[in-house]
Structure 1
């Protein structure tokens, strides 16, 4: 259906603010709009699934933009499915336990059935969590689970010592070839090799480098930080150390076995 001039204006404002805007922040950008008109427009946009309400880190509610294609997908959901989906969406990369979904939606026994429907329609996925064996959390399909949920490539069920050794060796070889380089440069290089079938998180790569430092193969250059602290994809802040190969380190030589 068509949008009013005010609805279009609100959509443009929210589109320019991808992290969302609180009610106060939005009101400041709608200087000459009275509260009644603003409320009516927001309710219409919520009905059309063109905006969503989310909780910010400070606990304040905010409005976020939804593009037309995504809005069309959401309109295919029943009211109950949409309620469940919104709560799962708000849980972000940590996901939600099925019992927590039951509590917040108050849908009791129907929750499991609705979750399965959302999974079948491709809206959500289940992810095994390291916090409880054989249990899983639910999150939106295109969200990458946090390290806190999966444990990364160093989790027990995916740990691969040979792969860890290989990645460590490649890190050292790259640093040796560069002379000096920071963690960000090493991360870009290692990911470009595509040696792991598991997506390597920033935390995984940081721990691989820390292992090489501990083993004496590389060292941190005077604790110099090239670009301060960088935030990883899961939100963890990690130091962007500059590394060099240890002076005494001799690269491993691999000889071919020649049969007698």
Structure 2
């Protein structure tokens, strides 16, 4: 900073006060004494020192300041490495595919590969794997954590969908919901419509984590993903919380002067925290469904004199032996 002029320091301080970037109009308003020609000179000088970078937002060009640490990293690079690094930086934790990186920079493949190798050696970037595109080489800044889109979140282990882990968690979620869905020690009993203690996704997450069922730190969003599976499988149902999910507008005169007044509901101001209730399938508790005849696909063709009969039924024989 000691080698910067007063105007360069003023512009850099202004840019750093706007971490998301600042456009020309904001700069002109904050630094009216700095004319356009002089401002462009200052910007180019700061850019050459790797103290600011340029961003495009719609039709506007934004100037974003680098921290001293970031500027130090940039000073370790040549021009080609700096171009590669900035494109990888712009990709954030989504990363950028090697082919796309070559297309966007317009640099020869050998130059891009050489720069990537050097940046990896300096521990400035890293290669990450994608569960969606396992054959692609994707790069991001070294200190970033890959997004869920790349890693697949907690449901993937070594880029493979962990079906056993998912099934175990879904089963435990269902058992917890089931334990809260019906009165204990009262077979066949149900709660009334005023019952408000069905578990929410947050409560289910707390149960999973507190009991050590998952060693992976699951978010409420992850639990909601499991609950959606249970809903689609017909094992649980989603219920809106009891109470006013909507605010009421002020009284509205709908009958003219002195006429009847009514109230209108507004749209919900926030997403409600849904509760989940287990669905009890009564058919699975009957003996008719338990035996093969209860779910036989050729039941209508079964008779003592037909090709299919109780005496030669393979399914019935296996069920009796079991």
Q: How does 1:54-65 map to 2 (within 5 A)?
A: 54-56=55-57, 58=58, 60-65=60-65
2:199 and 2:277 in contact (8 A); partners too: no
Alignment partner, residue 163 of structure 1: 165
Question: How many angstroms apart in 2 are the aligned matches of 1:196 and 1:16?
Answer: 41
Q: How does 1:143-158 map to 2 (within 5 A)?
A: 143-154=144-155, 157-158=159-160
Render the CA deviation track for 1:165-218: whole Å, top value 9, x for unaligned. Answer: 444466664996x94676577668867879355x75776443123224334345
Alignment partner, residue 118 of structure 1: 119
Aligned match for 1:210, one of 221, 228, 232: 228
Question: How many angstroms apart in 1 are the aligned matches of 2:220 and 2:113?
Answer: 34
Alignment partner, residue 99 of structure 1: 99
Change (3 A) 1:246 1:83: same
Render the CA deviation track for 1:100-158: whole Å, top value 9, x for unaligned. Answer: 22233333112112112111211111122344342121112233334444443445833
Q: What SS class does the counterpart of residue 21 from structure 1 fall into?
A: coil
Q: What SS class does the counterpart of residue 132 from structure 1 fall into?
A: coil
Alignment partner, residue 128 of structure 1: 129
Alignment partner, residue 192 of structure 2: none
- The alignment covers a number of residue pairs equal to 237
TM-score (norm 1): 0.72
Question: How many angstroms apart in 2 are the aligned matches of 1:39 and 1:113?
Answer: 33
Q: What SS class does the counterpart of residue 219 from structure 1 fall into?
A: strand
Deviation at 1:68, TM superposition (A): 0.8
Q: Which has the higher contact order (CA 8 A, sep 6+)?
A: 1
Change (3 A) 1:130 1:7: same
Q: What SS class does the counterpart of residue 19 from structure 2 fall into?
A: coil
Change (3 A) 1:80 1:9: same
1:221 and 1:242 in contact (8 A); partners too: yes
Bigger Rg, structure 1 or 2: 2
Unaligned runs of 5+ in 1: 229-239, 250-260
Question: How many angstroms apart in 2 are the aligned matches of 1:201 and 1:126?
Answer: 26
Deviation at 1:35, TM superposition (A): 0.9
Unaligned runs of 5+ in 2: 181-195, 247-267, 281-322
Question: How many angstroms apart in 2 are the aligned matches of 1:23 and 1:187?
Answer: 47
1:152 and 1:200 in contact (8 A); partners too: no
Q: What SS class does the counterpart of residue 143 from structure 1 fall into?
A: coil
1:218 and 1:243 in contact (8 A); partners too: no
Q: Does 1:72 align with 2:90?
A: no
Alignment partner, residue 245 of structure 1: 276
Alignment partner, residue 195 of structure 1: 214
Deviation at 1:8, TM superposition (A): 2.4
1:182 and 1:241 in contact (8 A); partners too: no
Question: How many angstroms apart in 2 are the aligned matches of 1:62 and 1:248?
Answer: 54
Question: How many angstroms apart in 2 are the aligned matches of 1:154 and 1:246?
Answer: 24
Render the CA deviation track for 1:221-240: whole Å, top value 9, x for unaligned. Answer: 16959873xxxxxxxxxxx5
Going by fraction, where is strand more abundant, 1 or 2? 1
Q: What SS class does the counterpart of residue 227 from structure 2 fall into?
A: helix
Q: CA RMSD in A?
A: 3.8
